[in-house]
Structure formats: structure tokens, C-alpha cells
Chains A and B, each alone.
Chain A
């Protein structure tokens, strides 16, 4: 495809980004001040304990949450500007398809929302590429969980985003399906130069798909590991296992059994 070899997506630069929810005694610090740069065209995986704030970081990058402090830029633009350009796409843990729209309707809606022309061929083409040819008119309720996630990914990709954010997109499907989706879907965006970020619970998935894995501590999220995944490791089982061990070690280091509340109380 023409767009497949286009220029890499922009860098995502987080400068002293922090997020707190609530105020007064009920205040919760979700993300401690973080400064990180995610290279354009790369896939970065964010891993960390449940509730550590990694999803919040992703949502801030998506422009769905406003940072309490610091700034996020993509190239020279804010997340909001990227939103308006239709340059962002995000997949959620549940597919979040609109139940009253068909597969085709859901995917076409993304182009409409992104202010792009309708281009029915692009829509049907994308449906075929995620392996759902023949299901164009099906409603989400008629699809399996894995099929719904395929639609969700197709919805993301049909707008040819410069930034693709995946919030545990395969978290709700079974292991076998997940393996298949991991094998079939990433090639769709890997070649396009899109800057990707993915939140996942699966260390194995992170190592298999990402160019770089960032490991967060318990809430508030601090970076406790930043591990590059060399291209050479892709087809090297031993190298993969070593990386998994490395990420897991960082995870246990940042893991705080007693939780943030107890830690705050102790301070």
C-alpha cells in the first residue's frame, strides 16, 4: 500500500507530566512527574502493576485527560491539535463498538469523525485486511470477542493515524485468540511508520510486539525499567526469554505489595 512506507510518525515528548485526581484529603497521585520521549515510528509498550497509572499516561497522550502539570507534544503539536487533524487513533480494552452500527458502519464512522472522505473501498479493504471479509453488515452483538477487537483495530487503522494508542486491546480475549491477533494484526501498522504505544499486562506480548518496553512502579507511576528490544531478538527464542526475565525483574522491583496508601501513611 502507498502509505505503508511513508515517513515515520512524530516523536511523543512528555515533559514533567504528572496527574492527580481529586483534591484535598481524597487526592490521588496517579502519575508522578515523568519526562519521557517515545521515538517516532516505534512501538513502545508500557507495563506495570494494575492501577499504576500507565493507562492514565496513555489517556493524557490521547488528549482524553489533561495533565495536572507538565506538557505533552507530538512533533510540534499538542494532543488536541493531533485530535483535530484526525491523526490519533486509540483502541480500548473492550472494543467499544457502537452496537447499532454494522462492522462497516463502525469503521466508516472513524473516517467521518476524522473528517476524512467516506472512501467505501478503504473501509471494505480494511475489513478484509483484519480478516473479516463477509462480515461487513454484521452487528457487533453477532461477533465474537476476538472479531470485535479486529473491528476495533480496523477502525483505528482506517484513518491512517500518525499515532496509534492501544490500551490493553487484547486484554479481554482468550489466550489462543490473543496469540492469533498478536500474530496477524501488528503487521498492519508496523510497516506504516505510525508511532505506537501499547499498555499491556502481558510481558510476553510487550516483548514480542514492542521496540521498547517501559516498566512502571506501583502508583504513582515511576519508571523502574526502560528496556530496548533489539530487532535481532524477534526470531531468537532465547533472546526473547531473556528480555521477558529482564522486564519481569524490573516489574517485581517496582512492585509494592503494601500499596501506595500504606506507603503514604508511613511517610
Chain B
């Protein structure tokens, strides 16, 4: 990718210029509509307020940095535990997923109550945003080494510890770095969302202020700075990774699903059951251990009463269901559209390779733009209807899908492609018979990780812009002290995300069982 980027420098510069020009023209076209601020106005704002933005940025970057550190340390520790106790792997991964699926919109205020004033919630939300995308590749990396390396260790009568130190840790390093790279912009996003819970300064504070003040120049300027910093963070960690490691993992985050032993459904249900029990126990024990007030720290039995046995339970369920279905009808089309567009564009870029050089770096960069900054912009441009929200979700899934699919398409074995060229096969046929099958693991990996991302996007959009669905419900219930409903919404969001993730994993397994059984690990 570096080589590619270097070769395409003039083309990229041209691309940037074109984007700037389009931006300027678009801003001119909608002048006075308070939707879009042009490059000139944004530059002027930045020039006037560089000190303010600089101080805010420093605050947010610091919090994001601490969160990055804490979240990744947690991910590394968790992965090490799993590597040393492999029988724990499935359950630890499941619980890690549940925690990752907790909606930021709702965890924010809860964390604020726990921490009181200060950067605690910002740092914790940043940590929560990063640990999963580090944990999963690391888990793969710790197992990703040729069998003969392990043989070599055993040949000298060495046990698990030496193997771990000499082989696993080092083999996992590229995977760790790949995870860290995705984590860098995610930490910034987490810190910004954390600032919405009552911080005194930071980029999140400024962006809320700018939006409410109808200060379009400020909104776009802050978004631009946040996006640039996120992209820079992505780039810097990437450069560091290339210096530190001996190579990139072939496919980011593409963990082949396990081949189910026995009845897959039964096993899945068993895992879900055990996970549920462990999560309920953790939830309960944590709240009791810290003696958290039942006013806001609802226990599972509170929710049971609220949703099942209490007099108003039916109305509560109805309200929750109404919000959930509002969210569902926006998140599903957006998610599918984002994935499909990402995959299709990736294929187009493979067929028209000269375009890829210009598009891919832009796509990789845009992938790291924080959703809290994009959401208001898209809403400004597309309005508050379904179109805006669906677009936000689609954007959130589109970039990871595109990047993963392009990387996946490149995994097609060169010899198979050469073999096809010998028969003068058309590029479309090559795509269909060799490249798309090679793309599938990366595509599904992106599809799985995009589920929580899509849910995050839709809830943020609902909360900040449209005022409906689960996102708005969570924000509203937090302010009206309806903490039963808030926790119920947290459960629905987390469970829904996990269910979506499981559904994609199931689909993935079904597809591989048909087209590529060798991808399933025994």
C-alpha cells in the first residue's frame, strides 16, 4: 500500500484539489442555507480561532491517548489470558463483544455518575471504543504462525511459555499493530462522545456549541480538524507498524469462523445462554460490589419488574419496541447499503485499477473520520428524515467494507489469475471465479465488525439529529431519570448488536460451507 501511495502521489494531489474545488462549488451553490461551509470560510474560522481549537484538541487528544493506552492494554491482557487458557476463548470473546456493543450514548452518563467531574468518562469511553478491535486481531495473531515454528520449539523440549515468548508474541505483533491502527481514530471518537457527558473543554464540547449556535463554519472546521487528526493518528500508527513489524497480516481481522462440532444451533444457543448468565452475573455483582444507587444503577431484577411484572410493563415494552423498530428500519437498510456499496466499489476498482490508486488512500483516510462529526454534516446536507440517518449508517459501514474488500480481492492467488489469463478470460470472469471468492473472508470480517459500528452510527444520529428511535430514547430517558428505560434500551442495543453479529457469523459459515469449506477451521 505504501508503494502504491508513493507512485500515485501526483494523482492523489489532483484528487485532493478536485475535492477542494467541488467542495467550494457546493458551498457556493447552497450559500446562505446554513448547511455547508466552504473551504475559504472554514480556513478563515480556523485562522481566527486556532488557539481555541488548539487547546480543545490538546484536551481531547490527551484523553483519547489515555483511553487508547488503557483500552489496548486491556485488550492485550485479555488476549494473553485467552492465549494461555484457550478453553476460555469462546466465552471471553463473547463477553468482550457484549461489552463492545454497549451503546456509548447510554454508557456515557452512567460513567459520568460513577466518576464525577473530570476526564474519567472520556478516557473510559475512548478505551471502550478501542479494545475490541485490538483484542480480535490479536487473538488471531497469537494463533497465526506456521506449524513448523511450533515444531521447532517442541524439538528442543520447550513448552508453552517459551513458544509463547519466542513465537506467538512476535507473530502477533503485525496483528496487534493492525488493531492499534484502527484503534487510534476510534479512541478520538470515544473521547469526543465522552465530552458530551459534562466536560468543560474539548473538541466534543466545541462541536455541540457550534451546532447549537448555528455556526456552520465552526461546525465544519471542527469536523475537519477532528477528521484530520483521526486520519493522522491512523497514518502515524500505520507508519510505526511498518517500522516495527516484519509484514502485515494478510487479511485484517479475518478470523475464519470455527467449524461447528455437533449441532451448530445447539452450540450457539449454549454459548448465548452461558454468555447471558455471565453478563447478568457481572452486571449484578459489579453494581452490588460498588454499592451503586438503585436510582440509576438498575439491576436485572429492576428491569424484569419494569418490563414484565410492573403495572405499566406493557406500555414500557411498547415504548421500547416502538423505538427499537424505528431504529431497526433505519439501521438495516443503511448497513446493507453500506456493505453492498463498499463491495461493489471495491470490485469496480479492481476492474479499473488506475482509479484504485486515487480512491483507496482517500477511503482509508475517510474510514477514520469520527461519526460524531460526520453525522451532523450529513444531517445538515440531507435533512432529518430517514435518508439522512440511513446515509450516516451506510457511510459508517461503507468505508471499512471498501477497504477490507479491496484487500480481500488482492488475496486472489496470482497463479489462478494467470491461469485464467492464459485462456483469455474476461476480467469479469476472473472477478467472479477467483477474486470474489478470495474477497469473502475479508468481506465477512468487515460485515461482522460493522454491526456494532452501524448501531453506534444510528444511535448517534438519532440522538444528535433526528430525535427518534433508541438513540433519542436513551438520551431522553437519561435526562428524565427514567433509568429503567435507559437500561432496558442498553440491553436491547447490546443484545441486538450481538444478535446481528451472530447472524452475520452464521451466514458467513453457511457461505463458506458451500463455496470454501477449507476456510472453516476444524
Contacts and interface: CB of A to CB of B under 8 A. Distances in A.
Question: Are A and B a genuine interacting pair, yes or no?
Answer: yes
Given A94-B148, A98-B149, A98-B166, A64 B154 contact: yes
B91 interface: no
B412 to A, nearest CB: 22
Interface residues of A, number: 26
Contact of B149 (A62, A63, A96, A139): A96
Interface in B165-198: 166-167, 170, 173
A89 B155 contact: yes
Interface string B139-176: 00000001011011111111000100011001001000
Nearest to A139: B246
A63 B155 contact: yes
Give the secondary structure class of A's interface. Answer: loop
Contacts of B156: 83, 86, 88, 110, 113-115, 159
* Residue from A84, A89, A100, A109 with most neighbouring chain B CB atoms (10 Å): A100
B148 A96 contact: yes
A122 B146 CA distance: 28
Contacts of A159: 156
A64 B157 contact: no
Contacts of B333: none
Given A99-B247, A100-B246, A80 B149 contact: no
B155 A100 contact: no
A64 B170 contact: no
Interface in A151-183: 159
A5 interface: no
Contacts of A60: none
Contacts, number: 59
A141 B151 contact: no
B246 A92 contact: no
A110 B162 CA distance: 12
Interface string B93-134: 000000000000000000000000000000000000000000
A114 B146 CA distance: 21
Interface in A89-125: 89-90, 92, 94, 96, 98-100, 109-110, 113-115
Nearest to B153: A113
B246 A96 contact: no
A98 B170 contact: yes
B167 A64 contact: no
A98 B166 CA distance: 9
A62 B155 contact: yes
Contacts of B152: 90, 92, 96, 113
Contacts of A85: 157
A63 B167 contact: no
15 contacts: A62-B151, A63-B155, A80-B157, A83-B155, A89-B155, A90-B151, A92-B148, A96-B148, A98-B166, A98-B170, A100-B173, A109-B166, A113-B153, A113-B158, A139-B246
Interface of B: 146, 148-149, 151-158, 162, 166-167, 170, 173, 245-247
Given A83-B156, A96-B149, A98-B170, 13 more contacts: A62-B155, A84-B157, A88-B156, A90-B152, A90-B155, A96-B146, A96-B148, A110-B156, A113-B152, A113-B162, A113-B166, A139-B246, A141-B247
